[in-house]
Structure 1
Amino acid sequence: MRGNLSEIDIRSILQLIELGQRTGQLLVEADFHNSEQTIKDKANRHRHSRNCQQRFWFVFFLNGQIIYCQEGDSNLLRISDYLQHNRVEMQLDEQQLASLGLDHATEYGYLWALLERNMISPKVAHNIIHQLIHETLFDLLSLHQGNFIFLQGVALAPQLTSLEIAPLVAKITQQRQEWKQLYPHIQSPEQLPIIADIVQLSSSLPAATVSKLQQWADGKTSLRQLARYLNRDILTVAKVIYPYVQQGWLQLVYSGTTNLKIQIEDKETEKNHQVRIVCIDDTTTICETVESILQQQGYDAIALSNPLEALSLIFRLQPDLILCDISMPELDGYEICAMLRQSTAFRLIPIIMLTGKDGFTDRVRASMVGATDYLTKPFGDTELLMLVEKYVDLQTCVGTETRYKTC
């Protein structure tokens, strides 16, 4: 059995394997064209780069039940995370790893090696395998494009446990639906939490909770890793931090934004405050033009061409003014503006909408979501600078309750 995920989805494939009580392995390949992986892929690349990466997964079956799942090949990082929760150190050397002899299932063989050496108990190994299966299917059930092949054959051996497909898929499907409700504030299990407002956190949460957040929200630990360390599923962890992300107290970034974060931190250490302006526009030429115009006038201008990445980064950037295109794929300017206005950190920040047409409807909609003003494209240097200076000056001259006005 083989085919394309655009013709049959993962859930249906698993159901067929279960109904047929098949034994063997399923290989799934994807190239980031599903929605969540597209987000992650774009956020991990510079806007001028268009490299495409592929990911693949293995699912192993015995008589129509799942006995193991794994993403990629020969990666022990997941095992390491789970063993950290159970306070077990990985102690097999390269020669011992090579002797495991399990193609495409090194981490499964590693668990068995630990069991045989009495370094973990059967209960711990059983729990880790269940969690590995759960998190792999959580990703697989979100795929809508890619290829698959099921190879019927001898089961992966030895077996420690097996799971019925129907109840497992039903549970994870429900979790996927709840996960979508956290979007776009939380987009991917691979996002890295960072504390953006320690003052608000400290005043609203117990000291012990803040201490734990400071420990884990270091910009190096992903939500998925955090779930492994805490022995919780990814949805539970995401729901716990969601209110803090929504308020702007915690920020979620992707590992590919590291260089930008460093630039932000460097600029935050400058003694003299420089007015920071963020431009969100999916057109690269607009981004570069705005950056050039504003930087020549001494502004700290940062252009972001991925609206989803921008929404994640903007809480960290803390701009004094935002320029936001209206028409963008995946997330338009109206949605971004409305989301930002829900956060106390952005209720008084001027947001100027960039529109390709001077229409009354656009102006009304922009006003309804809380936009400060709008600028029609194409615009010249003078138009842009006059509008920016209008609201930058307004910020320095009036009280906090009137820092912006709606258009």
Structure 2
Amino acid sequence: MQGNLNEIDICSILQLIELGQRTGQLWVRASSSHHHNKLGGEGASIYRPKQESWFVFFLNGQIIYCQEGESSLSRINDYLRHYRVETRLTDKQIASLLPTDAPEYAYLWALLERNIINPKIAGSIIQGLVHETLFDLLSLCQGNFIFHQGVALAPQLNTFEIAPFVAKITKQLQEWKQLYPHIQSPEQLPVLSDKVQLQSSLPEATVNRLQHWADGKTSLRQLARYLNRDILTVAKAIYPYVQQSWLQLVYLETDKLDTHTDTWELQGKPKGRIVCIDDAIAIGETINSILQPQGYEAIALSDPLEALSLVFQLKPDLILCDIAMSKLEGHEVCAMLRHSTAFRLTPIIMLTGKDGFIDRVKARMVGATDYLTKPFTDTELLMLVEKYINNQ
């Protein structure tokens, strides 16, 4: 069994495996946005897709284990930190596990066999890893999959029924969507942005805990592992502080964005910072090639969900946003930005390939400032940008 997630979703695939009581492994591959620097010219920052993959192992229609494609073992080490397990395998012992089909799973069993952890801890870690992997998989809309029927992963510590997991995580994903635009990804890293306000509004113990975890180096997902909580619980706990702008959520790559800013400051302050949100990378590159020679700083973001977080850090003078995007429509992006006081007055220009009356009406209804039809000329783009940046 194999195919495309545009044709059949992960939930349906899991149901088929459960109903057929299949044994084997499911491999899923999908693209996610990844930051690369200085593409499309100096001062441009573009998010390009990288490939991610996951493996899910089954026995008679039940899940044995889930593993990320990279198999770095860091996930398990994060859980071991929660259980205060200090002893680890030697590099030589770890190297012997890597050629196996599931090195993470082999690593857990090696810890068990050496009495470094007990079966209860191992079972809890496995359940946590299955939960977080399914959370990622069930949120996918695009990608490819292959189910290979074969011998089960062995030995088995425990197995999990699919239906209860899917029902629970589906409900969590619905709640997770309510946290947009403030929280979008488990890979975001919390950072203290207003310590003074935190100290004046919260108990000292709470501030100390936030200061300990919000170090800009620990992702929400790592926090969930350290605390042995699911990602939604952690996200909801910090949501009020993010909403108040006392905490800021960043991506690991944002240090590169800071490098861009420094570069521009050395060269002389640009006329304005313009963010383009469009999942067509070529559009971002085109816009940069037009604006950068005119003295503007252009930053292209190809993932609308990540863009919703990054614009809070970038504080653009103007936003260009495509209407038709696969992950999130431009109308939704615009509406979410307008709900934040930070972007109530920021000019937002909608880009579309359709010159239709309905699109224009929708754009105005969600608070768009203006509208630009693709393909556009250099002059058309520059006139709009100059019109709204000079009027601020």
| TM, length-normalised to structure 2 | 0.77
Percent pairwise identity: 65
Deviations, residues 100-156 of structure 1 (Å, cap 9, x unaligned): 699323333333333344433443223212212222333344456411112145x62
Which of 73, 79, 98 pairs up with 1:76?
Answer: 73
Which sits farther off after the overlay, 123-132 or 287-296? 287-296
- Tell me the amino acid that sits aligned with residue 86 of structure 2: E
Equivalence for 2:34: 43
- 1:147 alignment partner, SS class: strand
Equivalence for 1:156: 154
- Tell me the amino acid that sits aligned with residue 29 of structure 2: D
Which of 334, 347, 350 pairs up with 2:347?
Answer: 350
Equivalence for 1:28: 26
CA contact (8 A) 1:60 1:69 kept: no
Q: Distance in 1 between matches of 2:173 and 2:303?
A: 24
State the Cα RMSD in Å.
Answer: 4.0
Q: Distance in 2 between matches of 1:13 and 1:290?
A: 40
Q: Distance in 2 between matches of 1:113 and 1:309?
A: 38
Which of 269, 273, 276 pairs up with 1:276?
Answer: 273
CA contact (8 A) 1:43 1:309 kept: no
| Counterpart mapping for 1:50-129 below 5 A | 53=51, 55-61=53-59, 65-72=62-69, 74-97=71-94, 103-129=100-126
Change (3 A) 1:185 1:268: farther
Equivalence for 2:43: none
Deviations, residues 169-207 of structure 1 (Å, cap 9, x unaligned): 332333233334445654443344445666666665555
Equivalence for 1:372: 369
Deviations, residues 318-366 of structure 1 (Å, cap 9, x unaligned): 1223233444443333222211111121122232334556665444433
Equivalence for 2:132: 135
Change (3 A) 1:119 1:204: same
Q: Distance in 1 between matches of 2:389 and 2:3?
A: 53
Q: Distance in 1 between matches of 2:110 and 2:36?
A: 38
The unaligned stretches of length 5 or more in structure 1 are: 33-37, 396-407
TM-fit CA distance, 1:76: 1.2
- Tell me the amino acid that sits aligned with residue 53 of structure 1: Q
Equivalence for 1:147: 146
- 1:331 alignment partner, SS class: coil
TM-fit CA distance, 1:261: 4.3
CA contact (8 A) 1:192 1:252 kept: yes
Q: Distance in 2 between matches of 1:353 and 1:10?
A: 32
CA contact (8 A) 1:282 1:328 kept: yes
CA contact (8 A) 2:34 2:49 kept: no
TM-fit CA distance, 1:91: 2.2
Change (3 A) 1:344 1:70: same
- 1:190 alignment partner, SS class: coil
Change (3 A) 1:320 1:151: same
CA contact (8 A) 2:270 2:295 kept: no
Which sits farther off after the overlay, 312-321 or 108-117? 108-117
Which of 169, 173, 197 pairs up with 1:172?
Answer: 169
- 1:119 alignment partner, SS class: coil
Change (3 A) 1:152 1:203: same
- Tell me the amino acid that sits aligned with residue 316 of structure 2: P
Q: Distance in 2 between matches of 1:58 and 1:50?
A: 26
The unaligned stretches of length 5 or more in structure 2 are: 41-46
Q: Distance in 1 between matches of 2:78 and 2:123?
A: 15
CA contact (8 A) 2:87 2:116 kept: no
Equivalence for 2:218: 221
Change (3 A) 1:277 1:247: farther
CA contact (8 A) 1:73 1:106 kept: no
Q: Note if 1:336 corresponds to 2:336.
A: no
Equivalence for 2:44: none
TM-fit CA distance, 1:68: 3.2
| TM, length-normalised to structure 1 | 0.75
TM-fit CA distance, 1:378: 5.5
Q: Note if 1:240 corresponds to 2:231.
A: no
Q: Distance in 2 between matches of 1:256 and 1:391?
A: 30
Change (3 A) 1:273 1:239: same
Higher relative contact order (CA 8 A, sep 6+): 2
TM-fit CA distance, 1:267: 5.6
CA contact (8 A) 1:60 1:156 kept: no
Q: Distance in 2 between matches of 1:211 and 1:268?
A: 35
Q: Distance in 2 between matches of 1:365 and 1:13?
A: 36
CA contact (8 A) 1:73 1:104 kept: no
Q: Distance in 1 between matches of 2:357 and 2:269?
A: 40
- Tell me the amino acid that sits aligned with residue 173 of structure 1: T
Change (3 A) 1:247 1:296: farther
CA contact (8 A) 1:247 1:344 kept: no
Q: Distance in 1 between matches of 2:320 and 2:49?
A: 28
CA contact (8 A) 2:48 2:302 kept: no
Which sits farther off after the overlay, 273-282 or 84-93? 273-282
CA contact (8 A) 1:324 1:333 kept: yes
Q: Distance in 2 between matches of 1:187 and 1:364?
A: 28
Change (3 A) 1:375 1:247: farther
Q: Which has the larger radius of gyration?
A: 1
Which sits farther off after the overlay, 220-229 or 321-330? 321-330
